[in-house]
Structure 1
Amino acid sequence: MSNESKAIFGASVTAVGTVIAAVGATPFRVLSEPFRLDLSVIGNVMQGVGNGIEADTQEPFSLGRIGNEIQSLGNSTVVAGLIINFDDETKQKLVITGNWFQALGGTAALGPEFSEPDPDLNDGLSIIGNILQVTGNSLQAINGIENLKKSRIQKKLQYPDDGDDDDGSFRTFDVVGSWIQATGAVISLISTIGIPECSRFGYLVKEDDPDDPT
């Protein structure tokens, strides 16, 4: 498999995984909480694998490679927080740390895009995609911090959790952040595939040729 094909495959796995994780983060009434947790785990595993594949296509020690590796580490940290039988506070800290790692990795991956001497539309899409993913991960981390604060207050005051995880502005931060990240991952995939020159929405447009009777 060529580097280009591998990069497209990695970006595709990442994008699909991010969308699956966003569905898992969204409190759809038709989806049970355990099923949504499974989706979150599957989505983050796919993101980690996809980022790892993308990193393998880039130059060693480059910002792009380091950024993708940090994002993959972040996904692995989130998965650990979701599935390993730690106490609740440790699990929340792992998820928060994982989201910050992803945001840091996305920021690092922006470096090569801004250093392009002759940027084109694909470079612009890559920048937009990475910025959206960084924003989404940051919102998810903020949501996790607020949930952790709430848990600590509940523990200190010794009153039970009301169990209502689907309401409140910070739950909205998690959902909105997940979908912003998913949008960014899809845009990054489009930039990796590349929009050809003389094209509209990726479809080649036939240029007028005065010597062509058709």
Structure 2
Amino acid sequence: MEQFAAWVEAIGTIIAAIAETPSFRWSLSQMENLMLWGNVLQATGNGLLADLNPPGSKNQIGNIIQSSGNSTIVASLLFDVTKSQEQLLTVQGNQLQALGASLSLVEGLEQGDIISIYSNALQAKGNILQAEGAKRNRKDWSLAGSWIQATGATLAAIYVTPNE
């Protein structure tokens, strides 16, 4: 189940990163749909991962916070909000994701789990860059942050997938 949850999250981050990539020339509607589904998948993957961690652990709380961040971004896309409200929700959603990844990073440090450290550091850094990009209207920062986050989530999914 951990593999499934990690890959759901990773696929969600990749879809969201693809949505931000201008070379694909998405219409606004297509981009928003991809962002919506990417964040729904991320929230689902993080929610499942939270359920698989020991109650009260930093990883459980971190995954809950990350899922809340993705849900905040989903709300910004689904509800009828102004552009400034959408921007604020996007910034806050990415900040929550960064906070959650940082909490999981701390648990990785405590356990000496190098892959957990790297994957969560990449995700936190990517989310921070996305939040700052949204705040400053820097699409290049948001794009870079999306792909950095996707790299971290994919690294985590590969790590929990056993070699056969």
TM-score band, normalised by the shorter chain? over 0.9
The CA distance in 1 between the partners of 2:105 and 2:24, in whole Å, is 37
Q: Structure 1 residue 28: deviation in Å?
A: 2.6
Q: Which amino acid aligns with 1:72?
A: S
The one of the two structures with greater contact order (alpha-carbon pairs below 8 A, sep at least 6) is: 2
Q: Which amino acid aligns with 1:146?
A: R
TM-score, normalization by structure 1: 0.74
1:101 is aligned to 96
Asked which structure has the greater CA Rg, the reply is 1
The CA distance in 2 between the partners of 1:58 and 1:30, in whole Å, is 39
The CA distance in 2 between the partners of 1:28 and 1:80, in whole Å, is 26
Tell whether 2:151 aligns with 1:178.
Answer: no
Number of aligned residues: 164
Cα deviation, 1:159-187, whole Å, max 9, x if unaligned, reads xxxxxxxxxxx211011100010011000
Q: Structure 1 residue 30: deviation in Å?
A: 3.8
Q: Structure 1 residue 29: deviation in Å?
A: 4.5
User: Which residues of structure 1 form unaligned runs of 5+?
Assistant: 1-5, 148-169, 195-201, 204-214
2:2 is aligned to 7
1:47 is aligned to 42
TM-score, normalization by structure 2: 0.95
The CA distance in 1 between the partners of 2:107 and 2:24, in whole Å, is 42
Cα RMSD of the aligned pairs, angstroms, is 1.2
The CA distance in 1 between the partners of 2:106 and 2:145, in whole Å, is 22
Tell whether 2:120 aligns with 1:125.
Answer: no
Does structure 2 retain, via aligned residues, the 8 Å contact 1:82–1:95? no
Q: Which amino acid aligns with 1:189?
A: A
Q: In structure 2, which of residues 100, 109, 115 is the aligned counterpart of residue 114 of structure 1?
A: 109
Q: Percent identity?
A: 41
1:31 is aligned to 26
User: Which residues of structure 2 form unaligned runs of 5+?
Assistant: none
Q: Which amino acid aligns with 1:143?
A: G
Tell whether 2:66 aligns with 1:66.
Answer: no
> Residues 29, 188 of structure 1: CA spacing in aligned structure 2 closer, same or farther, 3 A cutoff?
closer
- SS where residue 22 of structure 1 aligns? helix
